[in-house]
Amino acid sequence: MENNSYEYDIQRIVKNTYIKNTSIVNKLVDYVENIYLEAFKEGLRVKTRHLSETEQKIKSVMDGMQELLFYKNKKYGDSALHPKQVFCKRDSSDSITIRLDDKLSRMINGSDLTSEEGEQFAMLFKRIMGGDLLRKNDVSDFIGYLTLFCASKHWLEFSEFMD
């Protein structure tokens, strides 16, 4: 059914159309069929490209992280980018930085850092996050390096964080 899904869609379009002129319907069918054919060819190109072992690990990490983020986004009602703003009236970017602050605090408090080391770490992070030091390029680098770190640790899927 998957390989022939375009045929099903074409049949559905034709069945549900109110166009009685057969030549118009045939042109529509040809048009839709060509779109599906091109998409199918493009999909084959992507799927048949040989990935190196590292590329496959990167893909697995990103796929696993995407699955986790989709799961959490649904579980929390899309609240990261569309907060309810009942208690906190800040925008989504501010809400996310608050969550990062909370995560950083949990990391510091759960570590064997001395109080002074924890404060220094927090201050450095605050300086980076709070000022103009953090740019889009930096965030993409962090995501990339953390993805590679996950791949190097063989952390390729994250289903254990889905309850």
Would the pLDDT of 85 be above 50?
Answer: yes
What is residue 31's predicted lDDT score, i.e. its pLDDT?
77
Burial environment of residue 29 by CB neighbours within 10 A (0 to 12, 13 to 18, 19 or more): middle
Higher local confidence (pLDDT), 16 or 121: 121
Q: How long, in residues, is the chain?
A: 163
Taking CA atoms, 30 is separated from 3, 10, 33, 35, 105, in Å, by: 17, 9, 5, 9, 59
Half-sphere exposure of 64 (CA within 13 A, CB side): 18
| Cα–Cα dist 66/72, whole Å | 10
- What's the pTM value of the predicted model, to 2 decimals? 0.57
Average pLDDT, the chain: 77
Q: What is the pLDDT of residues 100-157, one digit of tens each?
A: 778 878 877 778 878 888 888 878 877 776 666 667 777 788 888 889 888 889 998 8
Kindly tell me if the per-residue pLDDT of 62 is higher than 90.
Answer: yes
